[in-house]
Chain A
Amino acid sequence: MAGGNSDIEFIKKGKRLDGRKPDELREVRIEAGVLNRADGSCYLEWGNNKVYAGVFGPIECHPRHKQQQDRAIVQARYTMAPFSVNDRKRPGYDRRSSEISYITSQALERVVMVELFPRAAIRVDMQVVEAHAGTRCAALTAASVALADAGIPMRDIIPSCAAGKVSDTVVLDLNKEEDNYGQADLPLAIVPSTGEVVLLQLDGHLTPDEFEQAFDLAYKGCMDLYDIQRAALANRYGGSA
C-alpha cells in the first residue's frame, strides 16, 4: 500500500473506476489441463491477470535434506515473467516471489494428502505472464486446479481472493490502481468444505469493523471462485460442479 492516495476518488455513485460494484469480482476464466508435459495444469485469467500453473508429482524430493520421512512436501514456486508488468521485471527469483511461494506451499499442504507419499515431493509451478494486482490469489487458485487435474489426492481445492479498502470503502478483489493507491489489501485463502483459513495476509490500515467486513467479503469471493474452479474441472472431466 502506498499509504492511500487521497487525490483519487475510487468510488463514484457506488461504482468503482472499472465499473464494478464494491462487492464484485473481476471476470474469472479457468481452464484445466492446458499443458502437455505437466502431470496436471491450469490456465487462469482473472481480469487481465494471466497465470499458468503446472504440477509434477509425486516425484523424488530434491534436495534430499528436504525430504520428510512420514509425508510428501509441496514445493510451490511463484514466478512473474519479465514482460508481465509495465516496467520490465528483472528475471529470476526475488524476496517477494520467495515469500509467496513459501506461504502457498504451506496452504496447499493443508489439503494435499501428503501422508500418502512419504519422502516424495509434489512440485507446483505458477507462472504469472500478465499481472494486474491479485496475482498471488490467482496463482494459488490456479495451483489448486492444476493439482486436481494431476490427480493428486486432496481433501478439497483451495480458492483464494483478496478484499481491501479504497476511498474508505471495503471492496472485493482490488484492481491495479486500487492496489497501488488504496488503503488496505487482505488476501485470503480457505478450505471451503471446512471453512479453515490457510492463507491470510494484510497490509494497510483497517479498523476492527472494516477488518470483519473485508474478511467476510473475501470469504464470499473465495466461495464464488470455488464454484468456478469446480466448473472448470467438471468441464474437463465431466460430472456436475
Chain B
Amino acid sequence: MSNATVANLMRGHIETLAAQGKRTDGRGTNEFRGVSIETGLISTAEGSSRVSLGDTTVMCGVKLLVGTPYPDSPGRGSMTTTAELACLASEQFEPGPPREPAIELARVVDRGIRESQMINFEDLCIKHGEKVWVVFIDMHILDHGGNLFDCCTLAGAAALSNAKIPNVQHGIADKDVDLPISCWPISCTFAKLGEAIVLDPNHEEETVMNARLTVAHDENGNLRAMQKGYNGAFTGDEIKAAVKTARTADKVLRKALKEAAG
C-alpha cells in the first residue's frame, strides 16, 4: 500500500487526536521525544556525533580543511553544510544527487549554526587573505522517524562541540586545539495538523502535516534562524505562540547537548 493511501487513512485520526491535545505516541503537544547524543565516534573526522531523537537517527561528521578565503572576507574561515538522505533511512529516499528537501534541510541547519555565531570565523583565519580553515559539516540521515531539522541541528552542534583543529596534520602548528565554540543554537520544529500545532512531529505526523515551522534560538533566547515549509499556512498569532513555546521547549535539548559536550 502506498504511503499516500496510509496518509489519507491516518489523517483523520491524527488530526482528531491533535485537536484534543493528544498524539499517536502519547506525548503532550509541546514535548520532545527522547534524545540521545554520542560524540567522537569517527576517528577520520575532526568531530563527530550520532544523535537520536525518538526513532530518528543522524550521524554527523565535521572535517576541517585548509582553503582560500572568499575575496569579500579575507580574514574569515568558512563553512559548508550538506545533508545526505541515505536510502537506508526511509523507503521514500531515492538514490541520486541531493534534491530540494535535502538541500533545504542542510541550508536551514547551516543558518542556525552560522547565524548563531556558534563558530567565530575570525578564529579560523590562518593567514589573512591566503589561508583559512574551511569547516565541512556533513550529516548522514540513518533513520527517518520525523523531524530531521531538529535532529540535524543537534547533530551538527554536537559534532562541532568535539571538533579539533587539525593543526599537526596540515603543518600549521605543533598542537591540535579545540574548535572554539561561542554559543549553542537549538532548533524547534512545529507541525500543523489540521488546526492544531505540535512540537517535534514524528514520522506519521509528518506524512499528514500541512505546514511546518522551524525556529532556532541561541542560548540567550534570541532568534537566529527560522523556516516555514509545506503548502499550508500559519497565522501570525500561531507563529508568535510557537516562537514563545520554542524558547522553553528547547531546554531539554540544550541540556542534553551541554551534557554531551562536557
The chain A residues found within 8 Å of chain B, CB to CB, are 35-38, 41, 48, 50, 52-56, 59, 62, 77, 79, 81-88, 91-93, 123, 125-127, 129-132
A86: min CB distance to chain B, Å: 6
B76 interface residue (CB < 8 Å to A): no
Query: Contacting chain A: which of B10-18, B21-29, B40-48, B172-180?
Result: B40-48
Contact A37 B145 (CB under 8 A): yes
Q: Is the CB of A129 within 8 A of B140?
A: yes
Q: How many angstroms between the C-alpha atoms of A82 and B59 in the bound complex?
A: 11
Q: Is the CB of B94 within 8 A of A77?
A: no
Smallest Cβ distance from B179 to chain A, in angstroms?
A: 14
Nearest Cβ distance between residue B108 and chain A, in whole angstroms? 18
Q: B42 touches which one: A37, A83, A123 (CB < 8 A)? A: A83
In the complex, which of the residues A48, A53, A88, A129 contacts B63, with contact meaning CB atoms closer than 8 Å?
A88
Which residue in A38, A62, A85, A131 is a CB contact (below 8 Å) of B88? A38
Residues in A whose Cβ lies below 8 Å from that of B65: 87-88
Structural contact, B44 and A37, CB atoms closer than 8 A: no
**How far is it, in angstroms, between the C-alpha of A48 and the C-alpha of B44 when the chains are bound?**
10
Query: Which of B79-87, B111-119, B188-196, B251-259 contacts the other chain?
Result: B79-87
What chain A residues lie within 8 Å of B98 (beta carbons)?
91-92
Please provide the chain B residues from 227 to 256 with a CB less than 8 Å away from any CB of chain A in the complex.
none
- The answer to the question of B72 belonging to the interface, with a C-beta cut-off of 8 Å to chain A, is no
Return chain A residues, CB-CB under 8 Å to B61: 81-84, 129
Is A52 a contact partner of B44 (Cβ separation < 8 A)? no
Q: Give Cα distance in the complex from A64 to B89, angstroms.
A: 22
Residues A130 and B44 in contact, CB atoms below 8 Å apart: yes
B143 near A85 with CB under 8 A, answer: no
For B43-83 the 0/1 string (1 means CB < 8 A from A) is: 11100100000010101011101000000000000000010
User: In the assembly, what is the distance between CA of A198 and CA of B94, in Å?
Assistant: 27
**Nearest chain-A residue to B83 (Cβ)?**
A91
Q: Which residues of A contact B44 (CB under 8 A)?
A: 83-86, 130-132
A residues in contact with B86, CB < 8 Å: 52, 54, 79, 125, 127
Report yes or no: B43 in contact with A35, Cβ–Cβ below 8 A.
no
Structural contact, A129 and B87, CB atoms closer than 8 A:
no
B97 at the interface (CB under 8 A from A): yes
- Which of B55, B89, B98 gathers the greatest number of chain A CB atoms within 10 Å? B89
Q: Are B87 and A50 in contact (CB under 8 A)?
A: no
Complex contact B62–A35 (CB within 8 A) = no
B172 CB, min distance to chain A CBs, angstroms:
16
Residues of B with C-beta under 8 A to A50: 41-42
A87 to B144, CA, bound (A): 28
Which residues of chain B are within 8 angstroms of A84 by Cβ–Cβ distance?
Answer: 42, 44-45, 61
Residues of chain B within 8 A (CB-CB) of A38 are 88-89, 143
B100 on the A face (CB < 8 A): no
- Please tell me if the beta carbons of B84 and A79 are within 8 angstroms of each other in the complex: yes
